[in-house]
Amino acid sequence: MKKFQPQPGFVVQAYRFALDPNATQEHALRSHCGAARAAYNWAVGWVTASWWQRRAEESYGIGEAGLTQWRPWSLPALRKAFNEAKHTDPRFAAWWEENSKEAYSTGLANASAAFGNYAKSKNGKRRGKRMGAPRFKSKRKARLACRFTTGVIRVDADGRHVTLPRLGTIRTHEPTVKLLARVRAGTARILSATVRHERGRWFVSFQAEVKRDLKRVTRPDVAVGIGLGVKNLAVMADSTGEIRTIANPGHYDRARKQLRRASRVVSRRRGPDRRTGQKPSKRWEKANAARNKVHHRVADLRADTLHKLTTAVAAEYGTVVVEDLNVAGMLRNRRLARRITDAGFGEIRRQLTYKTRQRHATRTISADRWYPSSKTCSRCGAVKAKLPLHMRTYQCDACGLVIDRDDNAALNLAALAAAATGTGVAGDQDAPAVSKPRRADQKTRTTHPRHKAEAGRAGGATLPHQRQTEARDRTQAEALTPW
């Protein structure tokens, strides 16, 4: 499937609305999502069956020419095979006509993407953590979701209903006037719709091609550096020297007392037990729903806070500099993991990236993960070799500057915008990242005047480990060159 490319001046935007389906409509929604999961499991089993068959034949000494052919996992091939099997397969023959064809296409498309990602990861063509082969989705754990790309997909004229294929007209919990007004004006065109069950209720997301006029920011010539933290959600320092601190609301910490009470009630009810087959009681389900409601409220409050923060920043500054934090590694600290998760570091960077690019045509710069923003003096540029986390005040040994640690880091990030070129220490968000070789030396280099003088007397000679690092960088760059 080709990726949709919007026309010039148009962007692809999602509009999500909560639904209020009745009992019949909710049953149909669950049936469609279950059909998508069943089609996904069928595709995984159909493709991997040829893998196991080939392995069994190889154990008998059969040559390559006599082995069973590999079954393809492209979406057209899966659709063709599924359409032939759904009439005779006992898992689908009795009920496949009850749901829209889009439900089965959703599962097949997800399976095709999963096999494609696995193949790219195995061949080293996919960034990130190595992915394993697709596995079957459990009925108990699988997320309920289904996507519609063809058929009747519209927002009704009354602004309180939506119409989807085979599901009919469903009432929305909130008005749909934002999307309806654009559709009527001809500045939006609905491409697809996805229904999903999360946080205890149903949602529908419309993917639309929207004509968006860029809005001029308030201070286009000013760059801001944003330092993220636990005590303070964000410390912002702009290129004019102004510093602002955004306190961390700590939504989860505020709700912990209520969560403890709700969890205590759940623990005193008869819950499910997979070992004995015990099913939960009605009182357990009611108590568990009350506890989940608290979790959902915390998630909604966190999302609202982050959106308000990122929207305000994107609408004010012409350049935004954020840190490339290793959030996954930071979560290994058991003393800070809960607060880091509650802050949402990765979500802040993601929202800033698309809001600056699509809404204001400004740029977001990501500082290198090893850039010593906290260790560098914002006045003279001297770098400390070590700065423990418990030291919250930065004291420069060269110029005597005394400043808050977070304020100093934010000022350094703001100053980094002037030197950003898309490569090196900092770069644009869309620029390819410069990979580092394993066991590369990431120690902070001190730039105290005394050390600079010693380096000058030494004639600028490089140390052995520095020469080894430079050689590894050159070797890796030559290996990645396409020609």
Q: What percent of the chain has pLDDT over 70?
A: 85
pTM over 0.85? The answer is: no
Residue 464 has pLDDT above 90, yes or no: no
101 φ, ψ (degrees, to nearest 5)? -65, -25
Provide the β-strand partners of residue 148.
193
Categorize the per-residue pLDDT at 5 as very low, low, confident or very high, splitting at 50, 70 and 90: low
219-228 vs 188-198, strand pairing mode: unpaired
Residue 473 has pLDDT above 80, yes or no: no
Categorize the per-residue pLDDT at 79 as very low, low, confident or very high, splitting at 50, 70 and 90: very high
pLDDT digits 0-9 by tens, 299-338: 999 999 999 999 999 999 999 999 888 888 888 888 889 9
Q: How far apart are CA 338 and CA 248, in angstroms?
A: 13
Span of 53-62, 230-239, 360-369, 448-457 with lowest mean pLDDT? 448-457
Token duo for residue 439: 């066991």
Categorize the per-residue pLDDT at 470 as very low, low, confident or very high, splitting at 50, 70 and 90: very low
Q: How far apart are CA 385 and CA 383, in angstroms?
A: 6
Q: What is the DSSP letter of 324?
A: -
Q: What is the pLDDT of residue 159?
A: 93
pLDDT digits 0-9 by tens, 28-77: 999 999 999 999 999 999 999 999 999 999 899 888 888 899 999 999 99
Residue boundaries of the structural domains of the chain: 10-22+145-211, 24-122, 220-434
CB atoms inside a 10 Å sphere around CB 122: 13
Tell me the residue type at 421: T
Q: What is the pLDDT of residue 85?
A: 93
pLDDT digits 0-9 by tens, 422-431: 433 333 444 4
Residue 298 has pLDDT above 90, yes or no: yes
**Average pLDDT of the chain, as a whole number:** 85
Categorize the per-residue pLDDT at 189 as very low, low, confident or very high, splitting at 50, 70 and 90: very high
Cα 160 from chain centroid?
30
Q: How far apart are CA 317 and CA 309, in angstroms?
A: 13
